[in-house]
Amino acid sequence: MATVPVLGGAGERTREISVVFAGPVRVPLVHQAVVRELADRHTGTHDSRGRSEVSGGGKKPWKQKGTGRARQGSIRATQWKGGGKPFGPTPRSYDKRMPTEMRRSALREAIAAQVAAGGVSVVEQLGVTEPRTKVLIERLRGLGIAAGPTLLILAERNAVVERAARNVPWLEVETPTHASVYQIMRHDRIVFEEAALQALEAALAP
C-alpha cells in the first residue's frame, strides 16, 4: 500500500498516511478516459451548407449544347464560387461511450500514477479564510508548493478559495466528486485536503 505525506503549516512532513491508490497503471485505460473526456468537450454544432442549402441556382446557366462551354446544371454546384461545400461538416455528437466501472478504474489509476511519481501531498485543512489571491499564494508557498500546474482538491466547495484562485493561472480548484482523469494527469502536483482524499477513496473503492 502506498503512502503520501501530510504537510504541516510550514510545509514540513508531519506524518504519512496510507492510500489505496497503488499498483501498476494501465496506460491504455487512462488514455481512453482522457480521449473520452476531451471528445465530450466538443459541442458538435459545426455546419456547412451543401448545394441544396445555398440560395440561388434554380436555373440552368446556359443550354446543354452548342455553346462550346462545359455543361453546367446550376451556378450553386460545388465547383462554383458561392456554391455548396462538398462533404462539409454537419452537426454531430462526439460523445464516446465508456462504462462506469472503466471510468472509475481509470481515475484510480491516474491518481496511482501521480502517487508513484511523488506528485501527491495532503494537508489537514487549507485554512484560507480571505478571498484574496495573495493570501492563497502565501499559504501554498508556506506548504512548499511553488508556481506550476497544481490541482487543489477540497473536501467541499469553498467560495472563498475559489474566488482567491481565479487569478492564479497555474492553479485549479476542484472537489472529489468532480475531479477527472484529465485534470489529474495534466497537473504536476495534486494537493488534497485530508477529508477530500478520504471521500475520494470511499467513492472509488472497488
Q: How much is the pLDDT for 73?
A: 93
Q: Do residues 153 and 174 make contact, with C-beta atoms less than 8 angstroms apart?
A: yes
Nearest to 118 by CA among 7, 2, 1: 2
Q: Which three cell numbers stand for residue 37?
A: 473526456
Same domain, 133 and 31: yes
Distance, in Å, from the CA atom of 78 to the CA atom of 67, rounded to the nearest integer, reads 22
Domain boundary (63, 88, 113) is at 88
Same domain, 131 and 151: yes
Q: How much is the pLDDT for 130?
A: 87
Same domain, 58 and 112: no
pLDDT in tens, the chain (206 residues): 688 888 876 667 778 888 888 888 899 999 999 999 999 999 999 999 999 999 988 889 999 999 999 999 999 999 999 999 999 999 999 999 999 999 999 999 999 999 988 889 898 888 888 899 999 998 888 888 888 899 999 999 989 999 999 999 999 999 998 999 999 999 999 999 989 999 998 888 87
Structural domain tally of the chain?
Answer: 2
Same domain, 77 and 106: no
Can you give the CATH number for the domain in which 118 is found?
Answer: 3.40.1370.10
Same domain, 35 and 104: yes
Q: How much is the pLDDT for 98?
A: 94
Give the domain range for residue 52: 48-88
Q: How much is the pLDDT for 5?
A: 80
Same domain, 117 and 158: yes
Question: DSSP H helical segments within the chain, as ranges?
Answer: 27-40, 100-116, 133-142, 159-164, 181-186, 194-203
Same domain, 110 and 162: yes
Q: Which three cell numbers stand for residue 180?
A: 477527472
Same domain, 73 and 156: no
Q: How much is the pLDDT for 23?
A: 80
Q: Which three cell numbers stand for residue 156?
A: 467541499
